[in-house]
Amino acid sequence: MYKAVFTDMDGTLLRKDHSISEATRELVRKIVDAGIPFILVSARPMHGILPISQWLGTDHMPIVSLNGAYIGLENKIIFRSAIDLSTVTEIHAVANRYDVTLIYYCGMEWFAEKSNAATLKEQRITEVPVRIAPYEGLLKQWEKDPAGINKIMAIGKKEVIGELEAELHRIYGDQMNVYTSKPTYLEIMRRDASKTNAVKFLMERYGIQREEVIAIGDNFNDKEMIDFAGTGIAMGNAPDEVKAVADWVTDTNQHDGVRKAFEKYIQLSEP
Question: Which residues participate in catalysis according to the annotation?
Answer: 8
CA max distance for the chain:
60
Contacts of residue 86, defined as CB under 8 A and 6 or more positions apart, other chains included, come to none
Strands 248-249 and 176-182: unpaired
Question: What would the DSSP string read from start to end of 214-236?
Answer: EEEE-SHHHHHHHHHSSEEEE-T
| 8 A C-beta contact, residue 241 and residue 31 | no
Q: Look up residue 129 and give its DSSP letter.
A: P
The candidate with the shortest Cα–Cα distance to 233, out of 206, 204, 266, 187, is: 266
Residues linked to residue 10 through DSSP beta bridges, in sequence order: 14
Cα end-to-end span (Å), the chain: 17
d(C-alpha 35, C-alpha 22), whole Å: 20
